[in-house]
Amino acid sequence: MEEELEFDHDVATDVVKTLPTAAHVTAAVAAAKAGEVQYRAEKAGVVHAGIGKASFDESKIAENAAAFIDAVRKARPSGAKGQYIKKITLSSTMGAGVFVEDVA
């Protein structure tokens, strides 16, 4: 018998010897519930993040995109000079990118 498990967010942590694993999981779950934005940055400056699924409606994807862009802006190092965000492109996992105008 196969059962499906449906969930909104998965939390995976590395075991760190200085703190119990339960503390990391508790903190990670609390951060996820608080709306923490997770993204990955490459050395070349490209930033990746998941902002939705195909089943999301347009307003939810727009809301998630705005939260992601805001999180990237807030993470800007104080010593960074010039234009921090040069262009924004959205795409599905294997789809073509669509340019998004940055209004900030």
Other beta carbons within 10 angstroms of residue 101's beta carbon come to: 6
d(CA 94, CA 23): 36
pLDDT for residue 1 is more than 70: no
Whether residue 25 is predicted with pLDDT greater than 60 in this model: the reply is yes
State the DSSP H helix or E strand holding residue 99, giving kind and residue range, or none if neither. strand 98-100
User: For 84-95, what is each residue's pLDDT tens digit?
Assistant: 888 888 888 888
52 by Cβ neighbours in 10 Å (0-12 / 13-18 / 19+) ranks as middle
How far is C-alpha 75 from the chain's CA centre?
12
Give the pLDDT confidence of 33-70 residue by residue, as tens digits.
666 677 777 888 888 888 888 888 989 888 888 888 88
pLDDT at 21 over 60: no
